Amino acid sequence: MLPTWRLQDRTNKMKMAAAYCPIENTDWVVILIATGEADLTKRLPTSSRDEIGDVVNGFNSFSEKLQTIIGDVKHSKEDLVVAVNEITGNIESLERMIVSQGKIVTEASSAVNMSMDKMSGSFETLRANSQDGFSKQQSVNDKVKEIETQSQMLQEANASLHKYSLKPLIRLRIQKL
């Protein structure tokens, strides 16, 4: 049989070991958290209602809060990935629209250039035709003046002829009567 003091010493050691066991567990979990290997869904068991129990309960509260924060960060990351994918899709859609608009502008520019070339050719033809028309009009005007002049001369000649040729005829008629 053990002496009383030894029995008491052994009982105290067991009580101390039982009391310090949650602290050792807490120490181990802190090391796991630091290395990124901890399971934050697990909590340390505690049965004591002393300072050590308070430390373990505080650590359990800390673990729960850390689990919530990490869950929020994961959720935020997922939301961010969704947002980034949506933005990327929008950018790609805008890029396709810009390329499409660029093609349309290029085609429209080409059509405008062709129309301008046709209009330039039409204006050149119109200028040449108007110059030709102006020359012909000038020629016609010159001919009309020439005809007017000749007509005036013929009228004067006719009047002269009429004046001189009718008088003898009239006299002749009068004499015959």
What pLDDT, on a 0 to 100 scale, did the predictor assign at position 86? 93
Instruction: Report d(CA 15, CA 56) in Å as an integer.
Output: 17
Q: How many CA atoms lie within 13 A of 127 on its CB side?
A: 6
What pLDDT, on a 0 to 100 scale, did the predictor assign at position 92? 93
Question: What average pLDDT does range 119-146 have in this prediction?
Answer: 89
H or E, element range at 92: helix 51-176
Instruction: Report d(CA 2, CA 45) in Å as an integer.
Output: 33
Asked whether the predicted pLDDT for residue 49 surpasses 70, the reply is yes
Which residues contact residue 44 at a Cβ distance below 8 angstroms, ignoring those fewer than 6 apart?
Answer: 22, 25, 26, 29, 56, 59, 60
Question: What average pLDDT does range 116-144 have in this prediction?
Answer: 89
Instruction: Report d(CA 56, CA 30) in Å as an integer.
Output: 12
Question: What average pLDDT does range 5-30 have in this prediction?
Answer: 54
Question: What average pLDDT does range 130-147 have in this prediction?
Answer: 90
Instruction: Report d(CA 155, CA 164) in Å as an integer.
Output: 14
Cα 128 to its chain centre, rounded Å, is 47
The token duo for 78 is 């997922």
Asked whether the predicted pLDDT for residue 68 surpasses 80, the reply is yes
Q: Is the pTM of this model over 0.95?
A: no
